[in-house]
Structure 1
Amino acid sequence: MSELLRHRRIGTNWLSAASWLVLVFFVLVALVGPFLVSADPMRQSNSPLLPLGSGGHPLGTDDLGRDELARLVHGSRPLLLVAVLATTLATTIGTLIGLFAGYFGGVVDQVVMRLVDLALAFPSILLIILLVAGAGAGPATLVIGIGISLAPGLARLARALSAREAARDYVLASKLGGSQGGRIMLREILPNIAGPMLAQVIMTLSVAAGFAAGLSYLGLGIPASTPDWGNMVQAGQEFVLTTPALTVLPAAATLVFVVACNFAGDDLRDALDPKGLA
């Protein structure tokens, strides 16, 4: 992977470079933003629905007089945290399933991938609603539901990549050398499919973030008491005609993050797999 990056750098055009900068910006906002913004995102005041540029409230206030800038900054952390954890769970499950199916092939591959196809056919939103009904709404349920929903797509890619690598000479040499299947999958095949998988993981992060925001908007995710972009869009839609910033700002932040993830993933895929073998 590092060898490929030396020959083809990421961010070689303005769109991909801007996408990487946006992702870095959002990560920094989530990590250090809450420490830099002094306003309390939950503190109510007697100055509701202040417009943009108001003194002491550069992005105005919501209907309860809470500082919109503080809520945007603090709201980035739960959304990104849920998206990252859900993507990590999906990647772990999907990669292990794909490695197993691709390496062994034959009947094992057919059975496992038919189960994956069945999981792909099941509506993701319905799965998450069932989990919420059984376990209750909350970040943990959101992570598990989104992670399980996104795992089959990553499993299909991991299977295709691992099946390609399983036919290579270095895998045959490892088998002849007495290496066991688990060791070959994790130490030989996995490092060689990590590049294309990483690119897909970044794009999957955008889907996870969209799911997290959308489900919070529907009241199925992060509690309304916690500042979150999805909750903010839902709460601000009542005032969309009089104070559109309450809805537009968190919605735009979510959209920009999702789009940046997709462009960054495309750029990384082109850099790590320039021949389009993935």
Structure 2
Amino acid sequence: MYDENHGVMKNQHYFAVSHDGFKTWKTFSAPNDSTILKVDMAAPNSICVVSRYLNDSPDYDKKFFRSDDGGNTWNEYEHPDYYIYQLMFIDSLTGFTVGDRNTGHGDERYNLVYKTTDGGHSWFNVLDTEIYHSFGLQKVDYFDKDNGITVGQFGSVFWTHDGGASWVYDSNYIFWSHIPPMMNVCYIRRDRAIIADFDGIIYISSEDTTDVIENIPNDNNILLSPNPFSSSFNIDFTNNYSSIVSIDLYDILGNNIYIKNIGFLDSGQHSTTIQLNDDYSPGCYLLVIRSGADIQSMKVVKSE
């Protein structure tokens, strides 16, 4: 999602673009008959795609495609060869890819982050560090051009405050009992991020402290619209079995700031609306839906 009106989604051979708040979608074929790996929007009409050509190994021959006319015509550029888990642009020219590459020594991998400052014409390496696991970095998020965070397997968490020129390894996630695989991250302010691991544990994190706020399974069936929102948003969700349902919102400090007790619902699809007045500050919140023993969660953003 680029903003509340523009977004893009994909499968291997097609991608779809919306410019009307996700009410309608226009479908395009993959550029040059390639296989789409990752897609993002650098601007409302600028679609960026990392692909490989058919019959090639997914670890090799990466190509970067960019369209500045909404997906009608494409320019093709080279991209470094490594396994890519995410493509992200923070403005029309500045973007990142994250992933890993095999070292050739068993399960050892290189954590990798590449950056472009010219819209994808060229890419340069900003993070390259060895890990002892079969997978590397999974996600990257940026608060602004300078402040970013990337997370991945084997408790890998790195922060940058100079646009990716240097990275600081965060050891707060190496616990005595286990080393969690980090799967997703949302950078919500300069000194704060929300991180989710493979086991569904949510962390409110800074470079100095780490707080676990909830243990949430990662089997979401939630659709929020609009997101970001100004005063209200709709929730469409699946209730897996008949049970009592409640909805909570947590702020960036982990405080429970909103509770809606819906009551008993049958299994199946349901909808409800959340109203937040001006007493609630703009920013990022964690939405949690509890249905009996089931827990689902999703990030929601309140705009100015």
Task: Give TM-score scaled by structure 1 length.
Answer: 0.21
Please identify which structure carries the higher helix content: 1
Please identify which structure carries the higher strand content: 2
- The structure whose RCO (Cα within 8 Å, separation 6+) is larger is 1
